[in-house]
Chains A and B, each alone.
Chain A
Amino acid sequence: MALITYREALNRALREEMRRDDRVFIMGEEVGEYDGAYKVSKGLLDEFGEMRVRDTPIAENGFAGLGVGAAVAGLRPVVEFMTWNFALLAYDAIVNSAAKMRHMSGGQFTVPIVFRGPGGSALQLAAQHSQVPDPWYANIPGLKVCTPATPADALGLLKSAIRDDDPVVFIEGELLYNVKGEVPDDEHLVPIGLADIKRVGEDVTIVTHSKMVHVAMQAAEKLAAEHEVEAEVVDLRSLRPLDLDTYVASVKKTNRAVVLEEGWPVAGIGAQIVDDIQREAFDYLDAPVARVSGLDVPMHYARALEKLIVPDAEAVIRAVKHVCYLD
C-alpha cells in the first residue's frame, strides 16, 4: 500500500494502461506540453510521444468526435475535458455518436472511449464553472458513468474504464485531486457499476457519490459522536450502471435512508435512487426517504452564498436526524 493523491492515482492509471496497450492514447487541451491543466497527465508526453499524448485546439465538439471516430476504428482514446463544463460543446459527440453507434448499427461497431475530467464546484468559480454534470450522462443508455471519491477508486475505475468496450464518462472531483488515500501496489481494478460501503452502520443509510462521500463521512462521524447514530455510507462509485442491489440491501438493514448529491434536485440522480428504494424496499422503511442536494439555483460567486448552495455535513446531519425522528 502506498499513500498517494487522487491526481497521482489517475496519472498512474493512465501510465499503466498506456504501457499495457499501445492502442490507448490521450488527447485534450493542455494534456501534453503543459502536463495537463490539473497535472493529471504529467510526464506522459515524454514517455509516449505526440501521437499518443495529443494537445488539441480548443474545440470540444471536434476533438471529442475525433476520439469517437478513432475508437470506432479500433483505438482506445482517453479524451480529457479541461472541465466537464466545457464538454457541453461535445454533448453531441458523446450522446449522439458515442452512445448510439453500437445500437444503431445493430451491434456492428464498438466505441471503446473514455471521456474524463473534473466536475462539480470548486472554490468561487461561479455559475459556468461549478456544475455537476453527473445526471446529464447517467440518463443516457449506451454510456457508463464513473464518479470515484478516493484515490484507490480513481485508479481502479479509470483502468477498468480504459479497458471497457463501451464509452465511459469519467467524472473526477475538481476538489478531490489533492485528497490522499491508500492505494494497492499491485494491479488494481474496480468493476464499473459496483457500489462500495465506505462506512458500516446500523441506523441509517446515506447514499452518495464523489466529493459528497467525504461530506457524508464527516456527518457520520459527528452523528456517532454526538447523537449515537451509526450511519452506513454507500458510495455509488458509478452512476451507470447504478448498483441498486447494494443500497437497497443497506436500506433493508437500516430501514432509513438519506440520499445526498452535490447537484441540483430536479431530476437529479437522487430522484432515481429514491424511486429504487420505494420500489424495492417500501415495506422496510420506517420513515420517508430524505434528499439533500445542491440548491436549485446557478452557483453564486460570493463565498458565503456558495457555501450555502453546496450541501455540507450539517445539512446531512439534519436530514439524518429527521428520518430517525430525532429532530
Chain B
Amino acid sequence: MAKTEDEIMQGDLQGIPREKLMEMLRWMVLSRRFEEKTAEAYQTGKIGGFCHLYIGQEAVAAGAIAALREDDYVFTAYRDHAQALVRGVSSDAVMAELYGRVGGASRGAGGSMHIFDRDVNFMGGHGIVGTHLPLAAGVGYAIKYRGGDQVVLCFFGDSVVNGGPFHEAFNMVAKWELPVVYVVENNSYGMGTDIDRVAAVDDLFTRACAYQGKKAEQVDGMDVLAVYDATNRAVERARETSRPTFIEARTYRYLGHSMSDPAHGTYRSREEVQAERDNDAINSLVDRMEEAGLLTEEEYKELDAAVIEEVERAAEFAEASPVPGRDEIYAHVYADEFRGGLDRRDAWR
C-alpha cells in the first residue's frame, strides 16, 4: 500500500529533501564505483603499496560528511578514498594520488593512505592507528582559540578504542569542551581480529561514558540516513555549545582488510559476508527512495552511468598525469631552504 505524503515525511526518509537524498546516494555510488575501478587498477599494477578499500561502509562517510559545512574539517585513517571523495576532493585528484602522479591530491607523495586537500579542509589520510585523534582535537582547540564555530569530524576504526591516543584525546576534548565529533566505524574487525576478542566492552560507544560531557550513541552504519541524523545532531551540538560527541557506526567491510587478503578466510565465513552484503546500504536507500516515489529505476541507472563515466575519466586523468620528477624528492620536506642543502650528504645518487 502506498504511503501518504505525511508518512513519508515522518517515516523511513525522515523528511530529508530529495535533493539531499540524491546527493548522499550519488556519493555512495561514486565511492563504490571508484573503488571497483581502484581494485581493477591495483590488479594491473597501476596502483601500488598498501591500499584499503571501503566497499560496504559507504553510508558512514556519505551520511556523516553530509552534515558538515564547507569550512568544517575532516580527518580519517588510511581507509580514506570515500571520505576524500565525499568531502569534495575530485575523483581525478584521488585517482591520480593512487597512481602516484603529480596531479594527485598530495602530488603523489602520499598515495592511497595519505590523501590531503587543504582547499576542502580534508586533513588526511593517517596511517598509524589512533594517531590522528589528538590531531583532530588540536584543530578543535584552534577553532575555540579563535572563537570560530567550525566543527571537526574525525573517523577511525574500531581497533582504535583500545589504545592510548583514543583516551587521551577523549579526555582533552571533554575537559576543554572542544567542537569535535568522533565517529568510530565499527566494522567488527581490525585486520583479522574480531573486536570482541580484544575489547573489554561489548558496545564501543560506552567507552565514552568515562568522559563526562562527551555524548555517545550507536547508529546503524548501514543506514545512511541514521548516520546523517546522528551526525547532524552532534555537529549542531559542537557548533552551538562547543561540545564533543562520540558516534559508533555499526558497519561492515565486504572485501579484505587490504588488497593482499581475501574477503573471507580464517577469521570470518563466506556466509557472514554474504549476509552483510544482503543488507547493502546503497540498495536499501534506493529501495526506500523508489518506494517513496522519489527515484525511478531509470533515474538510478542514469546516476550510476554518470558516476561510472566520472570514474573512467579519473583513471584517464591519472594515467595522463606526469610521474613526479627528481625535484619533487626534496621539494616539500621543509617550508624554507634547508641551510647547507638537504641533499648535502646524498652522494653517488
- In the bound complex, CA of A57 to CA of B114 (Å): 30
Measured in the bound complex, the distance between the Cα atoms of B123 and A51 in whole Å is 24
Query: Which of these, B73, B124, B141, B168, contacts A101 with CB under 8 Å?
Result: B124
Instruction: Let me know if B134 and A62 touch, CB within 8 A.
Output: yes
Which residue of the partner chain, among B106, B123, B140, contacts A106 with CB atoms under 8 Å? Answer: B106
Inter-subunit contact A65/B104 (CB<8 Å): no
Q: Does A71 reach chain B (CB closer than 8 Å)? A: yes
What distance in Å separates the Cβ of A18 from its nearest Cβ neighbour in chain B? 13
B3 within 8 A of A: no
Given contacts A108-B118, A193-B340, contact A65 B138 (CB under 8 A): yes
Which residues of the partner chain B approach A165 to less than 8 Å between Cβ atoms?
Answer: 335-336
B133 touches A142 (CB 8 A): no
Residues 142-177 of B at the A interface (beta carbon under 8 Å): 142-145, 164-165, 168-169, 171-172, 175
In the assembled complex, B267 has its CB within 8 A of some CB on chain A: no
A73-87 CB mask vs B (1 if < 8 Å, else 0) is 111010000000000
Say yes or no: A65-B143 contact (C-beta < 8 A), given A59-B171, A102-B333: no
Of A201-209, A239-247, A257-265, the one touching chain B? A239-247
**Cβ of A194 and Cβ of B339 under 8 Å apart?**
yes
Given known A-B contacts A25-B145, A103-B333, A142-B334, A62 and B172 have beta carbons under 8 A apart: yes
Interface members, chain A 160-188 (any B CB < 8 Å): 164-166
Number of A-B residue pairs with CB-CB distance less than 8 Å in the complex they form: 167
B332 within 8 A of A: yes
In the docked arrangement, what's the CA distance between A59 and B145, Å? Answer: 21
User: How many residues on B have C-beta within 8 angstroms of the other chain's C-beta atoms?
Assistant: 53
Q: Which of B128-143 contact A (CB under 8 A)?
A: 128, 131-143
How far apart are the CA atoms of A101 and B140 in the complex, in Å?
Answer: 18
Tell me the residues in window 106-136 of chain B with beta carbons closer than 8 Å to chain A beta carbons. 106-110, 114, 116-118, 123-128, 131-136
Q: Please determine whether B134 and A64 come into contact, CB atoms closer than 8 angstroms.
A: yes
Contact partner of A69 (CB less than 8 A), chosen from B135, B168, B347, is B135
Contact B169 A62 (CB under 8 A): yes
CA distance A2 to B338 in the complex (A): 32
CA distance in complex: A165, B132 (Å): 21
Known contacts A66-B138, A75-B142; A242 and B340 CB within 8 A of each other: yes
Which of A9-17, A32-40, A89-97, A303-311 sits within the interface? A89-97
**Residues of A with C-beta under 8 A to B137:** 62, 65-66, 69
Residues of B within 8 A of A57 (CB): 168, 171-172, 175
Interface presence of B344 (CB below 8 A): yes
* B residues near A109, Cβ cutoff 8 Å: 116, 118, 123
Asked if A125 is at the interface (CB within 8 A of a chain B CB), the reply is no
Chain A minimum-CB-distance residue to B331:
A107
Q: Is B342 an interface residue (CB 8 A)?
A: yes
List B contacts of A68 (CB < 8 A). Answer: 134-135, 138
With both beta carbons as reference points, the residue of chain B lying nearest to A107 in the complex is identified as B332
A241, B124: Cβ atoms under 8 Å? no
Question: Closest B-chain residue to A96, C-beta based?
Answer: B128
Max chain B Cβ within 10 angstroms of own Cβ: one of A51, A97, A107, A192: A107
Distance in angstroms from B14 CB to nearest chain A CB is: 33
Please, how many angstroms separate the alpha-carbon atoms of A275 and B114 in the complex?
35
Complex-state Cα separation, A164 to B335, whole angstroms:
9
User: B134 — which chain A residues lie within 8 A by C-beta?
Assistant: 61-66, 68-69, 93
A308 to B340, CA, bound (A): 36
Q: CB-CB < 8 A to B335: which residues of A?
A: 102, 110, 164-166
Check A51/B145 contact, CB under 8 A, given A61-B164, A72-B123, A106-B332: yes
Give the residues in chain A near B131, CB-CB below 8 Å: 65, 92-93, 96-97
Q: Determine the chain A residues whose CB is within 8 A of the CB of B106 once the complex forms.
A: 104-106, 108
Given A62-B165, A62-B168, is A241 in contact with B133 using a C-beta cutoff of 8 Å? no
Looking at the complex, which one of A63, A103, A191, A276 makes contact with B109 (CB distance below 8 Å)? Answer: A103
Q: What's the minimum C-beta distance from A79 to chain B, rounded to whole angstroms?
A: 10
| B300-333 to A contact mask, C-beta < 8 Å, 1/0 | 0000000000000000000000000000000111
- List chain B residues, Cβ under 8 A from A73: 73, 138-139, 142-143
Closest 3 CB pairs of A and B: A69-B138, A62-B168, A65-B134
Can you list 19 pairs linking A and B with CB atoms under 8 Å apart? A57-B172, A59-B171, A61-B164, A65-B134, A69-B141, A70-B138, A70-B141, A72-B123, A75-B145, A77-B138, A92-B128, A93-B131, A101-B124, A104-B125, A105-B110, A106-B108, A109-B118, A141-B342, A165-B336
Knowing that A62-B165, A69-B140, A106-B332 touch, tell me 14 more A-B residue pairs with CB under 8 angstroms: A62-B164, A65-B133, A65-B168, A66-B135, A92-B131, A93-B135, A102-B334, A102-B335, A105-B114, A105-B125, A108-B118, A164-B336, A241-B338, A279-B347
Which residues from chain B sit less than 8 Å from chain A, CB to CB? 73, 104-110, 114, 116-118, 123-128, 131-145, 164-165, 168-169, 171-172, 175, 331-336, 338-340, 342, 344-345, 347
